[in-house]
């Protein structure tokens, strides 16, 4: 393959890898703070008013670690469970204390197998999920009365002299409800003889925290869908007031919007509230969930949010009901893509089109790859083999195009001496040189960018795999060969902690899969024809595999597995191409004497004599 023609594609790939490597792995260590105290009754959350303009200033970390006021009596807990969820309810606020995912392990044991502990959402929290904030007589500081409990339903109730608030939760399996969804309804009834103007109903969405002690939380965010597009706010956007600002970090961010759904999530799990009627906005807060860690440690912080809904005034004796579906579970695209259940584009919570993925159309390629891989996994119950087979399927599908591009590249390589001669002949006449070059390409049926096509095809699929692995929980704790978790590096040995911030390393580990990927790239480069007239290109192509290996060294092993299989197939393909007969071109270089043949190294193996 003529590297002079593929240089544009290679540089694009290097730039793409550098971009998402820096953005994902080298997120700046910004100043941090602990959570703000609970909003008072004067907060814009508690009224049907627009949020105040501009963020509030943040006190010191020590001040912010104080927990919000809670009910004076000890909390009482009850649970509802099905095959997938165990929901623990608290009478404080009549809300959800935590949700254990019964089919998802919390961690791997010492032997690299999923442990017995279940992953639990909202275990560390700013408030019980779905609790009301700043709603006098009915918020999380109120001890509700449990008035009904069955195998699938729980009902709480709280009363003031003028208002009755009834909160119902149902975990019953019914058509149109996902296994990880529950139904919630809060009914407000006017007990007085006069009309009542209700405050704004503000529901806590839950608190998302880092997955482990080594997770810095770069995937923690709050998302919402306004009917047209999904928007996401990273946790670390509340860590400082801006790169060039010395102001204190904001205590919260308000996002007024017609909320069709709102979510709080980490890398692999999400809590999503989908209301029956659109809301009016979302408030995002960063909270310190581990008080034992210093304020500078990013792993100490989680993110929480509050969805805001305007309630109509109630006539005497009248009532109104807020209804919503609440999803608490893994981020699995095949679930969210079921439009019979998720009717408001909840699949956008996967964030396949965020960042560099938007440039390379990952919103299309990532779900396509995940859908194919999931289908393969249904036939071969191993996610590792699913990646291998999916990669081979893609390579076979694009084989005709790749072969055509390779033939074009060989034609281009054969023209190199003649093009060099034309550059010498017409060096004082650029316009004539361009005309003659285009004529030479046309007469010999050569596409000057044909050699770039295989690389350009690879880029969106590679980045599609990368963006898919950032969100899809299917590969979490999926083992393959020596790798215990395809969503994480395949570390076989660790030398301990290091401080190499420029390389994004916190631990010096031995990861095998990226090394295999780098080896296949180096061998692949040696199989392709190399131009010797440009030393800078020679150096670049020799260094490029090492750069890629460095970029991908701490990435998920599933991504390195895909790239390694892709490289092995390409190596075999290139060996076959190199054994093809040289193209016979009707070269007419306008009378220019071709350069010496030694300017191009031909790696095509010699034919053995019979």
| 259 domain residue, yes or no | yes
Q: Supply 29's token pair.
A: 């260590």
329 and 385: one domain?
Answer: no
| Continuous H helices in 427-556 | 430-443, 453-471, 512-527, 535-552
Residues 448 and 400 in one domain: yes
CA 384 to centroid of chain Cα atoms: 20
Identify whether 188 is part of a domain: yes
Segment 169-182, tens digit of pLDDT: 999 999 989 999 99
pLDDT, position 326: 97
Residue 183, pLDDT score: 96
- pLDDT at 514 (0 to 100): 83
Q: Report pLDDT for 281.
A: 94
What is the pLDDT, as a whole number, of residue 245? 66
Is 358 inside a domain boundary? no
pLDDT at 92: 95
Of 350, 368, 394, the domain-final residue: 350
> Which of 300, 332, 350 is a domain's end point?
350
Global pTM reads 0.78
419 closest CA partner among 382, 384, 448, 389: 448
Contacts of 490 (CB under 8 A, 6+ apart): 482, 483, 484, 511, 512, 513, 557, 560
Q: What angle do CA 142, 145, 151 make, to 5 degrees?
A: 125
Q: Please give the pLDDT value at position 64.
A: 29
Say yes or no: 473 and 342 in one domain: no
Domain count, the chain: 2
341 plus 397 within the same structural domain: no
Same domain for 410 and 265, yes or no, is: no
For residues 416 and 296, state if they share a domain: no
Q: Same domain for 470 and 521?
A: yes
**50 by DSSP, 3-state: which?**
coil
Sheet holding 95-105, edge to edge: 77-81, 85-90, 95-105, 118-121
| Same domain membership, residue 196 and residue 248 | yes
For residue range 128-174, list pLDDT tens digits in order.
999 999 899 999 999 999 999 999 999 999 999 999 999 999 999 99
- 521-545 residues labelled b (16+ CB within 10 A) or e (exposed): bbebbebbbbbeeeeebeebbeebb
The answer to whether residue 293 is domain-embedded is yes
Same domain, 102 and 160: yes
Q: Which of residues 308, 329, 350 is at a domain's end?
A: 350
Q: HSE, CB side, 13 Å, CA atoms: give it for residue 222.
A: 29
368 is a domain residue: no
Residue 180's CATH number: 2.70.98.90
Do 534 and 575 share a domain, yes or no? yes
What secondary structure letter does DSSP report for 130?
T
Assess if residue 34 is contained within a domain.
no
- Do 262 and 273 contact (CB within 8 A), yes or no? yes
Within a domain: 556: yes
User: Which residue ranges in the chain fall short of pLDDT 50?
Assistant: 1-10, 12, 18-68, 502, 531-533, 597-605, 607-610
Looking at the structure, do residues 472 and 575 belong to the same domain, yes or no? yes
Range of the domain at 468: 381-581
Name the residue among 354, 356, 352, 376 with its Cα closest to residue 365: 352
Local structure of residue 2 (DSSP, 8 states)? -
What CA–CA distances, in Å, run from 525 to 154, 543, 575? 64, 10, 12
Residue 562 lies in a domain: yes
Q: What is the pLDDT of residue 35?
A: 36
Say whether both 288 and 394 belong to one domain. no
């Amino acid at each position: 393959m003529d590297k002079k023609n593929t240089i544009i594609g290679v540089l694009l790939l290097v730039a793409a890898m550098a971009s998402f490597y820096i953005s994902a792995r080298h997120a700046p260590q910004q100043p941090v703070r602990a959570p703000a105290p609970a909003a008072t009754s004067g907060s814009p959350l508690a009224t049907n008013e627009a949020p105040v303009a501009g963020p509030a200033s943040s006190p010191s970390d020590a001040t912010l670690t104080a927990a919000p006021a809670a009910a004076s009596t000890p909390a009482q807990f009850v649970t509802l469970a099905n095959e997938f969820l165990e929901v623990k309810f608290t009478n404080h606020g009549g809300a959800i204390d935590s949700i254990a995912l019964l089919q998802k392990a919390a961690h791997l044991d010492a032997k690299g197998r999923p442990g017995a502990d279940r992953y639990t959402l909202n275990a560390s929290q700013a408030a019980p999920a779905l609790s009301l904030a700043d709603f006098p007589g009915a918020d999380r500081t109120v001890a509700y009365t449990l008035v009904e409990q069955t195998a699938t339903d729980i009902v709480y109730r709280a009363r003031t002299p003028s208002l009755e608030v009834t909160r119902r939760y149902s975990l019953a399996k019914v058509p149109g409800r996902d296994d990880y969804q529950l139904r919630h309804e809060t009914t407000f009834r006017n007990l007085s003889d006069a009309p009542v103007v209700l405050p704004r109903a503000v529901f806590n969405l839950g608190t998302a925290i880092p997955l482990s002690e080594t997770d810095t939380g770069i995937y923690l965010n709050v998302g919402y869908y306004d009917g047209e597009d999904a928007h996401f706010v990273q946790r670390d956007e509340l860590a400082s007031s801006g790169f060039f600002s010395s102001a204190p970090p904001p205590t919260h961010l308000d996002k007024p919007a017609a909320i069709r759904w709102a979510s709080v999530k980490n890398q692999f799990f999400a809590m999503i509230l989908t209301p029956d009627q659109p809301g009016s906005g979302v408030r995002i807060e960063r909270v310190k969930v581990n008080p034992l860690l210093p304020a500078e440690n990013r792993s100490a912080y989680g993110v929480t949010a509050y969805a805001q809904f305007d309630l109509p005034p109630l006539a005497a004796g009248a009532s109104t009901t807020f209804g919503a579906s609440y999803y608490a579970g893994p981020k699995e695209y095949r679930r969210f893509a079921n439009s019979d259940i998720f009717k408001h584009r909840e699949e956008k919570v996967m964030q396949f089109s965020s960042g560099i993925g938007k440039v390379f159309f990952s919103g299309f390629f990532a779900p396509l790859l995940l859908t194919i891989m999931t289908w393969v996994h249904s036939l071969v119950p191993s996610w590792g083999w699913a990646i291998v087979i999916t990669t081979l399927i893609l390579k076979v599908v694009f084989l005709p195009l790749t072969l055509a591009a390779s033939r074009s590249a060989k034609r281009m390589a054969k023209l190199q001496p003649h093009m060099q001669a034309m550059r010498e002949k017409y060096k004082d006449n650029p316009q004539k040189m361009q005309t003659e070059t285009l004529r030479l390409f046309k007469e010999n049926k050569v596409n000057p960018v044909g050699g770039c096509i295989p690389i350009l095809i690879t880029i969106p699929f590679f980045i599609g795999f990368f963006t898919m692995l950032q969100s899809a929980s299917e590969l979490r704790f999926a083992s393959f060969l020596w790798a215990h978790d395809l969503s994480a590096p395949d570390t076989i040995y660790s030398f301990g902690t290091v401080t190499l911030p420029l390389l994004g390393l916190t631990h010096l580990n031995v990861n095998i899969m990226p090394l295999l990927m780098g080896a296949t790239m180096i061998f692949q480069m040696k199989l392709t024809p190399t131009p010797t007239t440009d030393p800078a290109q020679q150096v670049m192509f020799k260094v490029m595999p090492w750069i890629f290996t460095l970029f991908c060294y701490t990435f998920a092993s599933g991504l390195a597995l895909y790239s390694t299989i892709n490289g092995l197939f390409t190596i075999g393909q290139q060996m076959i191409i190199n054994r093809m007969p040289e193209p016979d071109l009707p070269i007419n270089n306008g009378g220019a004497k071709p350069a010496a043949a030694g300017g191009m190294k031909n790696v095509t193996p010699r034919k053995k004599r019979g």
